[in-house]
Structure 1
Amino acid sequence: MSQQYLEIDRHSNHIRVSARIPIIDSDIQYIYGVLGVIPIVSGMALIVIKKARLVGTFNGHSIWTITETEIIPYKKTTLHLTEKQIWYNRHFTEMLQSVLATTGFYFSYSLDLSRSLQWLSENGTPAFKHMSMIDRADDRFVWNGYLLSQLRSVQGIDRFALPVIHGFYGEVHHSVNGHQFKLSLISRRSKYRAGVRFYKRGVSLDGHPANFVETEQIVETTSAHGRLTAFLQTRGSIPLLWSQRPNLKWQPMPTMKPSDDQLAAYVKHFELQRMTYGGKIVIVNLINQSGREKKIGDELDRIVQQANLSYVRYNPFDFHKVCQAMQWHRLSMLRDQLRHEITQFGYLADTDLTQRSQTGFFRTNCMDCLDRTNVVQAMIARESLTDQLLYLGILNVGQRVETCADLETSFKHLWADNGDECSRQYAGTGALKVGKRYCIKSAIESERIQVQLTTDAMDVFLGNFKIDVHNLPSSLEATLISLDQNGIALLAACFAMAMTILCVLVAENISATLFWLAVFLLCMMFIFINGEEFVNAPKLKND
């Protein structure tokens, strides 16, 4: 047991790290770490990691995924709350629990998971390495950053509180040509502009895109020399100001406001990317060049040309048109377009003899940055992995990843698992994979029912919406059917449909049947035209 203890005064909310031995008869729970504290309606609450599972190791550092958490209110009862406040307290607690129950939260006691190996190799000064992980972590990827905000000033808190990333980690061990090595994949999902599909699209005015994920592929040899290589690429929503609000259509139409300054948002985004990653950036745009996606693609093409950034190259590729009917072999056309830059950009290499850095990065997107993006990122990663293994002397000249059957299978599974996790976190469903297709239609209704809770829950968890007991949001109390024009339209449609059926079954008056049928169709037309008003949208924060 630790010789230090984290003390929290339930009445004053004061927090300190103490060496005082706790009271012997107190209730003792063993935890894996502290996620942080957050205000709810009843007062402050502590969030702890109750259970975690070891998922792998990197360079001797253990990596864990969270499997169970607990929210511990400072106040033991809610007797001091009104009935309305109790409802809000329970509702906000359920929101937090829904976020904490999702998969894909990772932490390490000794390794900064929020930083790529490339960044650490270039910026990991001795002074930086002596900082606590809370202080040195990349804020973009620390999903409990808001929960930690009130703990940062507590001396010694780093022994208890841990920065946590959201994304994916997986690893496989292999032997090729007698050489042992480990292939790892880590994805870090940005907390900026976090949300779910359709409700979070494009970039914000400060340059942060929706569904931005940084994915790092690492090869680590198991020899005494400890040689490793790493290749980094990113995905993110199309870097323009656009939206695709859900309505009653299967695929809502993407929209852009003529008044929005698309050029400024685009340039701001890539300035941030340049500042963070350096080097050249290749935009791999996979959206359709016809149909509903064409408008967004044309605007991106126009802005790319207008901005004319010297460090950005634009590479559009109509994935669905080229690879229709599952002709995945035609991806070789895109591979050939990118192959020169895959070689030119290289990868991070840290060996006994040499050290090299990756000099450019691929930024891939489709509409959701999910299925098409997963396939293309895996293709780019496979090309780089071949280069990495040749550099390390694991593959012989002329060999490729796909010529090693076991390695190719493990590679596909690793990237498929990564794609599934990214899809679940943004869309609520697994990815569509070659040879193992998931039926999204069967899950779409439950996804749309949960989308409001999920988006609102993320905003509460990340601190985008702060709970104020004196100003509780009345929007949460709103029901889908209320006595406004939308509620009346729904009730009128149901009544008109019932009357139409009744007239058909009972009455012989054709005019009455036609009248109620016309009323029903008019109500449905009103509902369809105003579809966005009838979707259970997020209520706490407008985008």
Structure 2
Amino acid sequence: RLISLGYTSDNYFEYDLKSQTIVKLQNKIVRTNCMDCLDRTNVVQSTIGRWVLQNQLTQTNYLSQTSTIPFEKIDYKFNLFFQNFWADNADAVSCAYSGTGALKTDFTRLGKRTYKGNLDDLLNSITRYYKNNLTDGFRQDSYDLFLGKFKPFQSSITSPFIDRRPPFIQLLPYLIGTSLLIMLAVLSYPKGSIFDYKNLTIVGICLLFTIRNLLYINTHGYQFVDWPRLVSLDFLKKEDVVDSKTGKIVGVNFDETDNFKVFNKKKN
């Protein structure tokens, strides 16, 4: 596909150190980027890099000009270095972007998918889901502050980091955690038989409380996400929660913007 677009494996910059002259110029680049498949993007980049490197090693006479044998079959140690170099690059970029190492690095390091690699991908995916939803707001805030999208001396008078959600929303995750802890304690160290009426009652109440509130979180998920706080998001709006009796603002509620809701309906 790249060759049909006019890109060949000898399209790279080359400089002769002995004569201090430019041998050739690179006049094309391959750009690979995707927001939701960072890991596969790195796999593609490493494959293109291998394709170009094969030509470079041939042109520098490290490999025979007439040989078509891939360099990984000739120099195992160098190939191992090349694979780990790209896998380490994937992990570094992924940690900055998603908070975990990259997925599919077993393919980059070993040239094939493995059971351990699939298990690592599962654990990383679960970790990403947790971090991206519950602990990652500060990461985007850091980028916005570093890139100058948020200027403290212009953009804010009061601290943007004050949690203005209703107290119940703030406490609910801790209440669920406490409920699970009590249930675990009763199951692990019951007074008398585990099937004692009191023990079963406590476990049942904790279980119902946990399930009910997990369903509530699932329904009102936007209220529990760790959103970036420095720069407003296009698809998210904040609405003040007003006490109907006193007329005072008692919190803030998060919801999708109307335009985003319409877009989602059209997409579905």
Tell whether the 8 Å contact from 1:349 to 1:355 is kept in structure 2 after alignment.
Answer: yes
Corresponding residue of 2:101: 430
Tell me which protein shows more helix as a share of its residues.
2
| Structure 2 counterpart of 1:427, one-letter code | S
1:468 CA drift (Å): 2.4
Corresponding residue of 2:149: 464
Corresponding residue of 1:400: 70
With normalisation by structure 2, the TM-score equals 0.57
Matches within 5 A, 1:470-509: 471-478=156-163, 482-483=166-167, 486-487=169-170, 490=173, 507=198
Structure 2 vs 1, CA of residues 497 and 362 (structure 1 numbering), >3 Å: closer, same or farther?
closer
Corresponding residue of 2:124: 440
Please say if 1:534 is aligned against 2:224.
Answer: yes
CA distance in 1, matches of 2:140, 2:207: 38
Tell me which protein shows more strand as a share of its residues.
1
What's the Cα RMSD here? 4.2
Instruction: Indicate the SS of the match to 2:8.
Output: helix
CA deviations on 1:378-410 (whole Å, 9 max, x unpaired) are 111110111223234432221433233233222
Larger Cα Rg: Structure 1 or Structure 2? 2
Corresponding residue of 1:213: none
Tell whether the 8 Å contact from 2:54 to 2:71 is kept in structure 1 after alignment.
Answer: yes
| Structure 1 counterpart of 2:74, one-letter code | C
CA distance in 1, matches of 2:183, 2:10: 67
CA deviations on 1:156-183 (whole Å, 9 max, x unpaired) are xxxxxxxxxxxxxxxxxxxxxxxxxxxx
CA distance in 1, matches of 2:28, 2:41: 22
Tell whether the 8 Å contact from 2:179 to 2:209 is kept in structure 1 after alignment.
Answer: yes
| Structure 1 counterpart of 2:13, one-letter code | L
CA distance in 2, matches of 1:443, 1:400: 37
Please say if 1:384 is aligned against 2:44.
Answer: no
Structure 2 vs 1, CA of residues 442 and 361 (structure 1 numbering), >3 Å: closer, same or farther?
closer
CA distance in 2, matches of 1:489, 1:529: 14
- Identify unmatched segments of 5+ residues in structure 2: 111-115, 187-194, 234-268
| Structure 2 counterpart of 1:465, one-letter code | F
CA distance in 2, matches of 1:359, 1:491: 55
CA deviations on 1:424-455 (whole Å, 9 max, x unpaired) are 21122222422584552685556766422222
| Structure 2 counterpart of 1:483, one-letter code | P
Corresponding residue of 2:255: none
Structure 2 vs 1, CA of residues 362 and 514 (structure 1 numbering), >3 Å: closer, same or farther?
closer
Structure 2 vs 1, CA of residues 408 and 356 (structure 1 numbering), >3 Å: closer, same or farther?
same
CA distance in 2, matches of 1:380, 1:515: 58
Please say if 1:367 is aligned against 2:36.
Answer: yes
Tell whether the 8 Å contact from 2:12 to 2:26 is kept in structure 1 after alignment.
Answer: yes
Structure 2 vs 1, CA of residues 338 and 364 (structure 1 numbering), >3 Å: closer, same or farther?
farther
Corresponding residue of 2:91: 420
CA distance in 1, matches of 2:126, 2:47: 29
Instruction: Indicate the SS of the match to 2:146.
Output: helix
Corresponding residue of 1:346: 11
1:338 CA drift (Å): 4.2
Corresponding residue of 1:454: 139
Structure 2 vs 1, CA of residues 513 and 385 (structure 1 numbering), >3 Å: closer, same or farther?
closer
Q: Which of the residues 25, 35, 38 maps onto 1:356?
A: 25
- Identify unmatched segments of 5+ residues in structure 1: 1-336
How many percent of aligned residue pairs carry the same amino acid?
A: 23
